[in-house]
Amino acid sequence: MGSINWSELFPGKWSAVIFVLYIALFVNQGIIITWSQKEGEYDYNIVIVVLMTEVIKLVSSIVLYCHENSLKNLFQEVYKYRKVLLLYMVPSSLYCLYNNLSFVNLAAFDPPTYFLLLQLRVVVTGIIFQVVFKKKLSTKQWISLVLLTLGCMIKHLNLDYNNALPNANFHLNINIIFIFIQTICSCLAGVYNEYLLKGEGATVNIFVQNVFMYIDSILCNVAVLLIQGNLVQAFDDAGPSIFMDPKVILIMFNNAAIGIITSFFLKNLNSIVKTFASALELVFTAILCWIFFGIPIYFNTALAIAIVSYAVILYSQNPVQNVKPKSYESADVEETQEFITKQESQIV
């Protein structure tokens, strides 16, 4: 077994810190949302909460940008890169659906099961990554992805020691379909967002890109409220309660932090490492839910943790290299022109 290539796994100075923060914030989000439930239901409008979260993200991005630039420069960049603003409507709509479904699915499943089912995105992300970035995954990388998926599947088996065969603890229902939709949204949005960060929007300030994302996300959530019914009535029904409940406030600010850290994650790492970070969330979520909610950890959970850990170690020996679409210096003229043509043909 080869040694872990830490410089390739975490190429930047802050890559490891971003990786840890990403996991911590996502684990925290699942636990807080479960904590905010009352008998498996929410006494607040989840779409309003998601919308207000996007507003917080937008304000945070503007403040961070204006720390070193002027507000006038922001408007100039928004106008200059308005095409990128339109392109961000694709991942924004996907993330909008993903964020709203997370509340629905966490009401139907406990956090460990929820994070487990989301691991369906592991292989899907690998396939999408190959298609979008034209970068073939190695045999070792695929083995690690398959092992990771297997570990997550074993975690889901609820062993009944009174019977010879293990039983799954859920039946096929509408929530499984919702999980599948959420999985597809996560895969497509994550890889497409990375493509924008490193491709079409590579020269755009990362905080400006965040502004694009959150403006589009706000529009998408407003559209959801319009589809649900009266937009004004939705805010009236929500009332001031969402701003008075500390649990809801924690959800909004934690989710806002997730949005900011995810952009740095995809800028400095890649979607495959993001997938493994998401798998590690399963491990920590299971332990913390056992501590806070008394959700038991069975033998299969320990086995799943071992398999997932090995998959992470296997992958870390040969991680997917970051894509640098704008680096043409080492290519000759014909290769550069061919690459630019391919990139332009993939722009939506």
Confidence of residue 310 (pLDDT cuts 50, 70, 90): confident
CA–CA distance, 289 with 279 (Å, rounded to integer): 16
Tell whether the model's pLDDT for residue 164 goes beyond 50: no
Tell whether the model's pLDDT for residue 163 goes beyond 60: no
Spell out the alpha helix ranges (H) of 88-173: 89-108, 111-117, 121-133, 139-156
Across 302-307, average pLDDT = 80
Q: Which domain holds residue 46?
A: 6-159+171-345
CA–CA distance, 342 with 304 (Å, rounded to integer): 41
Per-residue pLDDT tens over the stretch 114-148: 877 777 676 676 777 777 667 777 888 888 888 87
User: Bridge-partner residues for 28, per DSSP?
Assistant: none
Q: Is residue 211 part of a domain?
A: yes
3-state secondary structure of 119: helix
pLDDT averaged over the chain?
76
- 190 or 231: which leads in pLDDT: 190
Alpha-carbon distances, residue 153 vs 89, 113, 123, 277, 293 (angstroms): 33, 10, 13, 17, 22
Is the separation of the CB atoms in 148 and 309 below 8 Å?
Answer: no
- 66 or 307: which leads in pLDDT: 66
Number of domains in the chain: 1
168: left (phi over 0), alpha (psi -120 to 50) or beta: beta
Residue recorded with tokens 């088996």: 157
- 102 or 230: which leads in pLDDT: 102
Confidence of residue 239 (pLDDT cuts 50, 70, 90): low
CA–CA distance, 239 with 247 (Å, rounded to integer): 16
Q: pTM value?
A: 0.70
Per-residue pLDDT tens over the stretch 272-295: 676 677 677 777 888 888 888 888
Confidence of residue 9 (pLDDT cuts 50, 70, 90): low
- What sign does the CA torsion over 34, 37, 40, 45 have? negative
Tell whether the model's pLDDT for residue 334 goes beyond 60: no
Range of 47-51, 186-190, 278-282 with top mean pLDDT: 47-51
Neighbours of 338 (CB within 10 A): 12
Q: Is residue 288 part of a domain?
A: yes
Across 296-315, average pLDDT = 77
Is the separation of the CB atoms in 55 and 295 below 8 Å?
Answer: no
Tell whether the model's pLDDT for residue 59 goes beyond 90: yes
Point out the least confidently predicted range of 159-168, 223-232, 292-301, 312-321.
159-168
For residue 214, give the H/E element and its range: helix 206-228
Q: Is residue 127 part of a domain?
A: yes
- The amino acid at residue 69 is N
CA–CA distance, 25 with 255 (Å, rounded to integer): 8
CA–CA distance, 284 with 24 (Å, rounded to integer): 9
Nearest to 130 by CA among 318, 287, 330, 272: 272
